């Protein structure tokens, strides 16, 4: 047994968002954040597995559609006979489903949280490490870095880094914003957020996140509308606004 207490995120996504993720409806930029959160949260993983179970149960109940008469023949023609895993054509085929027995045998054992490593899914997208990231300054103490493939339609996922003892400009959100803490922590008027915590804000939330610690706070953020600055600072400059 480890002597470390593994922090379980307190802030988890609500069911409607987990279900949108589970059903494959969610925009991939938001999906990236949810999927990274799952790395940290057994509770959320359990909920998603329950929902997948529901997905299976409902698949049995769905009114069936008409299949083309030749469909079965077309499929039979394409079947290979080898049992060996090399029958898989592409990396996509190999990675199809996380429920596979062979996948769970090969699971990577990232020490993740405790050593400040990133969720494997995110790390994969970044090509293995954070060295490639290009950080740009958004405002005093706040930097942002684009993620390859992070922009999908109106939604955008990116990394943000807030320096120690920094207050992010007060803002509200036109649409939805998801913030996943990857390292360090931040506070706002509601609570403190630690690695694995996912905060979801919408138009009703006005907040001013700040980092009190001596350590910077690293977050994965996704949103579907530009942030609107409120307060005096908002009227003077608009560093958060980006055109789509």
- Residues 174-213 touching other proteins, rule: CB under 8 A, are 175-176
Decide if 218 contacts 183 (C-beta within 8 A): yes
Q: Which is nearer to other proteins, 119 or 226 (CB)?
A: 119
Tally of residues, the chain:
244
**What angle is formed at CA 172 by the lines to CA 219 and CA 177, rounded to 5 degrees?**
40
Among 9, 11, 12, 58, binds other proteins (CB under 8 A): 58
Give me Rg for the CA atoms of the chain: 21
Decide if 210 contacts 170 (C-beta within 8 A): no
Sheet holding 171-173, edge to edge: 206-207, 171-173, 227-229
For the CB of residue 165, give the shortest distance to other proteins in the complex, in Å: 29
Name which of 164, 221, 163 is nearest 197 in CA terms: 221
Sheet holding 155-162, edge to edge: 135-139, 142-152, 155-162, 217-223, 177-183, 198-201
88: contact with other proteins by CB under 8 A: yes
For the CB of residue 214, give the shortest distance to other proteins in the complex, in Å: 25
The secondary structure element, H or E, covering residue 172 is strand 171-173
For the CB of residue 142, give the shortest distance to other proteins in the complex, in Å: 23
15: contact with other proteins by CB under 8 A: yes
20: contact with other proteins by CB under 8 A: yes
For the CB of residue 136, give the shortest distance to other proteins in the complex, in Å: 20
Query: For the window 118-137, what string marks contact with other proteins as x by the rule CB under 8 A?
Result: -xxx--xx------------
Q: Which is nearer to other proteins, 101 or 235 (CB)?
A: 101
Which stretch, 117-125, 136-144, 211-219, 229-237, contacts other proteins (CB under 8 A)? 117-125
Residue 67: C-alpha distances to residues 59, 63, 70, 73, 114 (Å): 16, 12, 8, 12, 51
Which stretch, 52-60, 162-170, 207-215, 228-236, contacts other proteins (CB under 8 A)? 52-60
Q: Which is nearer to other proteins, 6 or 135 (CB)?
A: 6
Query: For the window 144-163, what string marks contact with other proteins as x by the rule CB under 8 A?
Result: ---xxxxxxxxx--------
Residues between 219 and 238 with contacts to other proteins, criterion CB under 8 A? 224
């Amino acid at each position: 047994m480890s002597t470390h207490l593994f922090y379980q995120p307190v802030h988890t996504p609500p069911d409607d968002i987990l279900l949108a993720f589970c059903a494959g409806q969610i925009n991939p930029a938001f999906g990236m954040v949810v999927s990274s959160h799952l790395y940290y949260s057994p509770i959320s993983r359990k909920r998603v597995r329950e929902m997948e179970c529901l997905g299976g149960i409902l698949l049995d109940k769905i009114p069936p559609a008409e299949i083309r008469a030749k469909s079965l023949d077309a499929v039979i023609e394409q079947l290979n006979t080898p049992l060996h895993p090399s029958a898989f054509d592409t990396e996509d085929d190999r990675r199809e489903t996380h429920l596979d027995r062979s996948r769970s045998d090969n699971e990577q054992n990232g020490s993740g949280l405790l050593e400040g490593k990133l969720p494997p899914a995110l790390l994969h997208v970044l090509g293995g490490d954070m060295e490639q990231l290009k950080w740009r300054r958004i405002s005093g103490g706040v930097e942002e870095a684009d993620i390859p493939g992070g922009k999908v339609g109106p939604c955008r996922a990116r990394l943000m880094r807030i320096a120690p003892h920094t207050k992010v400009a007060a803002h509200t959100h036109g649409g939805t914003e998801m913030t996943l803490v990857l390292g360090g922590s931040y506070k706002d008027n509601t609570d403190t957020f630690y690695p694995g915590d996912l905060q979801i804000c919408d138009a009703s939330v006005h907040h001013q996140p700040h980092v009190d610690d001596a350590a910077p706070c690293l977050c994965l953020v996704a949103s579907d509308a530009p942030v609107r600055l409120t307060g005096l600072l908002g009227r003077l400059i608009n560093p958060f606004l980006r055109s789509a």
